[in-house]
Structure 1
Amino acid sequence: MEMEEIVEEETSGKHENMVEITVKTIGPARPSRLHVPSSIKVLDLRKLIARKNHLPVENLKLILQGKVLHDRADEDDIYVRFNDGDSLIVAVKPKAPVGLDIDDDDEDLKFQLPQSTSQWKKKLYSFLRNRMKLPDIVLMAIFSLGLKAWALIILWFTLAPIAHKLDLGPLYILGTGFCLIFLNLGRRQPGDVSAYSIFNEDFRELPGTLNADAIDRDIRTGQF
């Protein structure tokens, strides 16, 4: 049984309206007509087009009104709504040569949350990215910080107006800078070399260094 007939049977009991759309495949193929429900999952639409045109479903990219259709967002299926006469563009990505793992999908170059991220963070990420249109570098900065860092940032902005009213704005900013410097100094572990040692491979003393060895050497040579 054809996939199109299956879709029609599944949606007949739901009283879905069927619409006719034009499917244009990039390449020498001619445009074709396709009857689909007015509202359908992108994943089901991808499988329907792949089965009807004998195309690899994993290499299909669907474009509607200049926007790429994605199957899922934040672990939820995405639905697409069609009007009668809409045009859908289908692009088929070429397969990578044997032995090479090449992926030209631009989505892999964007910031993505790990699979173990909580649901509320995924919802917030979807809102900031899709609704607020924040760039990936801003999203990376937002979701890379922990709760402690965000608490300190909120505290800093809360105290900033108070420092401004007390005419302590410059001191407040300078104090913040020094705190950031001292908090990020870190501690050298036993056995680690210092930053100065990078430029002093032989660990030679600086001229004029006064230590116990220099004093002992001066006494033995009669210079002290």
Structure 2
Amino acid sequence: MGDTVEEDESEKVEIILKTIGPAPPSRLRVPSFIKVRDLRRLIASNGHLPIDNLSLILRGTALSDIRNGDDVHIQLNDGDSLIVVVKPKPPVKDGHENDDDDEDLKFQLPQSSSRWKKRLYSFLHDKLKFPDILLMLIFTLSLKAWILITMWFILAPVAHRWDLGPLYMLATGFCLILFNLGKRKAGDSSAYSIFNEDFRELPGTLNADRLDRHIRAGQF
């Protein structure tokens, strides 16, 4: 029994907590190898601090609970200093329009995403500092769309070499318009009579013939 206690104690280290503010430094015994989320929970309960607004800094690096979809573990040594920062709550704004706009511009990868997508997102967002609007564009496009974009860039130099650049751009514009027309349900009529059977117009459409008939009938 005594051996088990000694083994448990040998696996723990004493770290120094330096909380930003008037609070004096304190010491806390924790496991030497621990998850960041568990360490945050221990520090919050020990100092009666709000865990949601708690930020931890070790050796000049802010600690994150999750990276690439996995829990982050850290190795602590005896005597390590950990800076504890309690982030203030954001001020309450009178209007909510700006908050909604900011939330719309922030892109978050869905939790159901595959592991390779999470790793790619972490690399682009954390390492390369890609803006959220660009990340949104990258991860919302389908594989088919990326294949078409890649083929367009591959064929563009070929068209330029054969002096077909303007025609290539014109064809690209027509394709974009054609593929974005959408599909009508059965029985629906287009606003343009040329696309309807027998060139049938929508009720209430005002054209030159109808205007002429109204004038001849004395309705104007």
Q: State the 1:52 CA deviation.
A: 2.1
Determine which of 21, 25, 30 is the counterpart of 2:19. Answer: 25
Q: Does 1:152 align with 2:168?
A: no
Other-structure match for 2:112: 116
Q: Distance in 1 between matches of 2:190 and 2:159?
A: 41
Change (3 A) 1:174 1:20: farther
Q: Distance in 2 between matches of 1:123 and 1:216?
A: 67
Other-structure match for 1:71: 65
Determine which of 133, 139, 144 is the counterpart of 1:143. Answer: 139
2:139 counterpart SS class: helix
Other-structure match for 1:198: none
Change (3 A) 1:21 1:216: closer
Q: Distance in 2 between matches of 1:193 and 1:210?
A: 16
Q: Distance in 2 between matches of 1:142 and 1:134?
A: 10
Q: Distance in 1 between matches of 2:129 and 2:88?
A: 30
Q: Distance in 1 between matches of 2:153 and 2:135?
A: 20
Q: TM-score, normalised by structure 2?
A: 0.67
2:208 counterpart SS class: coil
Q: Distance in 2 between matches of 1:126 and 1:86?
A: 28
Other-structure match for 2:164: 168
Q: State the 1:78 CA deviation.
A: 0.6
Q: Number of paired residues?
A: 191
Q: State the 1:148 CA deviation.
A: 1.4
Q: Does 1:50 align with 2:44?
A: yes
Gaps of 5+ in 2: 91-98, 193-203
Q: Distance in 1 between matches of 2:26 and 2:77?
A: 16
Deviates more, 1:182-191 or 1:69-78: 182-191
Q: State the 1:156 CA deviation.
A: 0.7
Gaps of 5+ in 1: 1-5, 97-103, 195-202
Other-structure match for 2:209: 211
Q: Distance in 2 between matches of 1:114 and 1:80?
A: 26
Determine which of 176, 183, 208 is the counterpart of 2:179. Answer: 183
Deviations 1:10-41 (A, max 9, x none): x84xxx5x655431212221112334455431
Aligned partner letter, 2:141: L
Q: State the 1:48 CA deviation.
A: 1.9
Change (3 A) 1:52 1:216: closer
Aligned partner letter, 1:42: V
Aligned partner letter, 2:163: D
Aligned partner letter, 1:132: L
